[in-house]
Amino acid sequence: MRHFLADDDLSPAEQAQVLALAAELKHAPYDAKPLAGPRTVAMIFDKQTLRTQSSFAAGIAELGGFPMLVDGALAGIGVRESVHDVARVLGRQASMIVWRTYAQGNLEEMAAHSGVPVVNALTDDFHPCQLLADLQTIQEHKQQLAGLTVAFVGDGACNMGNSWLLAGATAGMHVRISSPEGYAPSAAMVQRAAAIAATSGGSAALVSDPVAAVTGADVVVTDTWISMGKEDEAAARAAVFAPYSLTVELFEHAKPDAIAMHCLPAYRGKEIDAEVIDGPQSVVWDEAENRRHAQKAILTFLAEDLR
């Protein structure tokens, strides 16, 4: 039974296979029906969502399946009943489970007991579906992944920083993470990415100076400074992260044809200038659209395990 809990659950070859399928599905969205039946896919959200809920719901329907929204607050997973018991119950109702939650450990427990494929729709540690969409978007704009340099500027310790390390390394990219002191990814995460990069021809590095990180980059990425669950740290973070804002001036250090990326929601004037996110080199709306195509591809990949 395969799951998609973290970016490196896919080998480099499997990631390439899923991305190729995502491109095919974008071209012909209504042809493939691996969830015909319709099979039910349970979607649970313990944190806020717009893109993830809408893109999974639309994508599951396009694959011939039924997206069953399970209200995380009503279910009270881990509070009202254990993750283990919820996994056993949902595994009897649904063919797959898509879950956005806090602790990666709870997602792993769901996967261990559900008996059906489980997909990470964002945890505190990873956002692997976003990275599939982002890699698809880069391929569309740059016609390649391996060998490109990506600079992630901002909260490197959040789910997006970790996922860029693992997914970028898997794709053979050179990943630079630039964060203020205390907000870098863990040494273990960088090591995990470096081990993948050693097999894919990519690299993984922490570059604390944002100008050095962005200089010569093909892709420049940022994310909110205040991830869901960190709202009470907002004031302190705003001061610490200010030098890591993706301003027009910082973006000018990237290659002239560099693209700017952001998973959204974005806070203009904070982590990114309006002129960058709304400018001609921004690909954020393609990223948002590609969530649907990329997620359909990973669901199709996992559907091979369905009986």
Q: Which residues are catalytic?
A: 100, 127, 130, 223, 263, 291
**Under the criterion CB under 6 A, does residue 228 sit at the interface with ligand NVA?**
yes
Site string for ligand NVA, 161-200 (x = CB under 6 A): ----------------------------------------
Nearest by Cα to 148 from 157, 156, 139: 139
Question: What's 233's DSSP letter?
Answer: G
Q: Closer CB to ligand NVA, residue 159 or residue 300?
A: 159
Options 83, 160, 175, 250; binder of ligand NVA; rule CB under 6 A: 160
Q: Closer CB to ligand NVA, residue 114 or residue 227?
A: 227
Nearest by Cα to 239 from 227, 226, 253, 258: 226
Rounded to whole angstroms, how far apart are CA atoms 67 and 40? Answer: 6
Q: Closer CB to ligand NVA, residue 149 or residue 163?
A: 163
Rounded to whole angstroms, how far apart are CA atoms 14 and 102? Answer: 26
**Under the criterion CB under 6 A, does residue 103 sit at the interface with ligand NVA?**
no
**Under the criterion CB under 6 A, does residue 7 sit at the interface with ligand NVA?**
no
**Under the criterion CB under 6 A, does residue 263 sit at the interface with ligand NVA?**
yes
Amino acid making up residue 120: N
Other residues' Cβ atoms within 10 Å of the Cβ of residue 50 = 10
CB of 17 to ligand NVA, least distance (A): 25
Q: Which two tokens stand for residue 151?
A: 């600079």
Contact region for ligand NVA (CB under 6 A) — 12-20, 112-120, 220-228, 245-253?
220-228
Options 111, 158, 221, 299; binder of ligand NVA; rule CB under 6 A: 158
Q: Which two tokens stand for residue 17?
A: 């296979």
Q: Which two tokens stand for residue 97?
A: 């489970």
**Under the criterion CB under 6 A, does residue 227 sit at the interface with ligand NVA?**
yes
**Under the criterion CB under 6 A, does residue 258 sit at the interface with ligand NVA?**
no
Other residues' Cβ atoms within 10 Å of the Cβ of residue 28 = 8
Q: Closer CB to ligand NVA, residue 147 or residue 229?
A: 229
Options 40, 55, 106, 224; binder of ligand NVA; rule CB under 6 A: 224
- How would DSSP label each residue in 85-132? HHHHHHHHH-SEEEEE-S-HHHHHHHHHHHSS-EEES--SS--HHHHH
Residues that bind ligand NVA (CB under 6 A): 127, 158-160, 223-224, 227-228, 263
